[in-house]
Amino acid sequence: MSDYVIKCMYFDHRFKEKPQGKQCGWVQKSLTQVNITIKNLADALCHGASFKPAVLVGGNKAENWTEQQLFGLDFDNGIKIEEVYNKVILLGITPCFMYTTFCHKEDHHKFRMIFCNDTVITDGSIRDKLQATLMGIIGGIDEVCFNRDRLFFGGKGQVVLHPDYEARINAEFIIEKYWNDDFEQYISNAKPKSKKKNKTAASSKSKDKVGTDKEYQPHENLNVKAIKEHDVEYLRKVLAHDPIEFENKNEFWDYIYSELDIGELIDIDNPKSFCCVLHEDRNPSANIFITQNGIQKYRCCSENLTLNIKQLIEILGDFKSEYKATQFIMDIYNLSIKESQWSIEQRENIDLMISNITLNENPNPLAMLGRIE
């Protein structure tokens, strides 16, 4: 069975370091469905390749999920590799292989564990329940790895850990033996990403209540509401964006303008025509388009407005400064910019100045006692 072939989404570029900035968008766009042996996949990941365990058709998002046989778990809280491996063996669920990530260190382990089900799963509810069960019984796992469209970067360890390419798990057995209602939290936390049907139904009910004399009754767009209320926690769950650290501000803004999906941010089904979220709109007057430079823009025809994603957030959230709007974007998308050496030195100088001022204002307590005597 060592030559057993599975399907997954895969990109064979071998990175030497963790992809950052535009590289992340490049990986997402370059993933393709492949047939590959588990052994070859394991070796490729240990040398910097990238993959998604699921098979996605028509796009790279969770709603494009069609089937899955591989299941990945992500450990980055420092728990030891051998500790986790011994635990799963005692549970009777053997992984096909493990590998360390780009950020792995001997004093802080970061690694991935990959399982293979004995059959291809095409029922999304079974897939979700199996993923949640694996996460729940093992513990210490990054919850983002629950997502159906979860992307796993490789690593630079070059050595496959605990290879057992013929090992298989059985979804029915694991769920029946280990499922706990507490694990439902993993499934429910991912639900906001596909809430459109419920909102459409709610909108229809609202129209029925108001009668024919007022046919237009806009449903509540929870994403837009969250932006207006600066609800970072809600949007982080909905957008479920993998953390990215950029080398500099130029990389950061290039990514913001060209890679982030405005339609996903404001929860729009049809980006070509929809009611504007900036004002009450009885007839669809807004659309989202991409410029020749690859930048996504929001356009409201009735108000003659064309905005990039930052400007749209600034208006919706009524942010009083560009800095606050930028910080909001970084928070909801889990983004950061590497601090420059100059910034580090300036911060250290300021801390030193504050420390000196504090010492001058608060003399040595022993000296003070001497003065009293």
Do residues 152 and 52 touch, judged by C-beta distance below 8 A? yes
Tokens describing residue 335 = 């983004």
What are the sequence ranges of the domains in the chain? 5-191, 208-337, 343-372
Q: Which of 66, 76, 6 is nearest to 37 (CA)?
A: 6
pTM of the predicted protein model: 0.59
3-state secondary structure at position 307:
strand
Do residues 73 and 174 touch, judged by C-beta distance below 8 A? no
Do residues 137 and 178 touch, judged by C-beta distance below 8 A? yes
Query: Does residue 282 surpass a pLDDT of 70?
Result: yes
Residue 373: what pLDDT? 45
Average pLDDT, the chain: 84
Query: Does residue 215 surpass a pLDDT of 50?
Result: no
Do residues 242 and 28 touch, judged by C-beta distance below 8 A? no
Query: Does residue 327 surpass a pLDDT of 90?
Result: yes
Residue 188: what pLDDT? 78
Q: Could you tell me the CA-to-CA distances from 8 to 32, 35, 55, 152, 271 in Å, in that order?
A: 8, 7, 5, 12, 29
Q: Return the axis-axis angle of helices 249-259 and 22-30, rounded to nearest 10°.
A: 40
| DSSP letter string, 29-76 | HH-EEEEEEHHHHHHHHTTT-EEESEEE-SSSSGGGEEEEEEEEEEEE
Q: Does residue 116 or residue 275 have the better pLDDT?
A: 116
**Strand 335-337 versus strand 244-246 pairing type:** parallel
Taking residues 10-30, what's their average pLDDT? 87
Residue 2: what pLDDT? 57
**Phi/psi at 77 (5° precision):** -95, 10
3-state secondary structure at position 116:
strand
Taking residues 216-239, what's their average pLDDT? 83
Between 12-16, 117-121, 349-353, the lowest mean confidence (pLDDT) is in: 349-353
**Integer Cα distance of 24 and 35 in angstroms:** 23
Q: Does residue 167 or residue 141 have the better pLDDT?
A: 167
Query: Does residue 366 surpass a pLDDT of 60?
Result: no
Between 10-14, 209-213, 321-325, the lowest mean confidence (pLDDT) is in: 209-213
Chain segment 74-117, per-residue pLDDT in tens: 998 889 999 999 999 999 999 999 999 998 999 999 999 999 99
Residue-wise over 128-152: b if at least 16 C-beta within 10 A, else e? bbbbbbbbbbbeebbebbbbbbbbb
**Integer Cα distance of 309 and 94 in angstroms:** 45
**Integer Cα distance of 61 and 89 in angstroms:** 32
Between 40-44, 260-264, 319-323, 347-351, the lowest mean confidence (pLDDT) is in: 347-351
Query: Does residue 216 surpass a pLDDT of 50?
Result: no
Chain segment 130-141, per-residue pLDDT in tens: 999 999 999 888
Question: What is the DSSP-derived secondary structure letter of residue 158?
Answer: -
Q: Does residue 310 or residue 208 have the better pLDDT?
A: 310
Q: Could you tell me the CA-to-CA distances from 355 to 112, 177, 347, 359, 363 in Å, in that order?
A: 43, 58, 12, 6, 12
Could you tell me what percent of the chain has a pLDDT over 90?
51
Q: How confident is the model at residue 297 (pLDDT cuts 50, 70, 90)?
A: very high
Strand order in the sheet with 305-307: 286-290, 296-300, 305-307
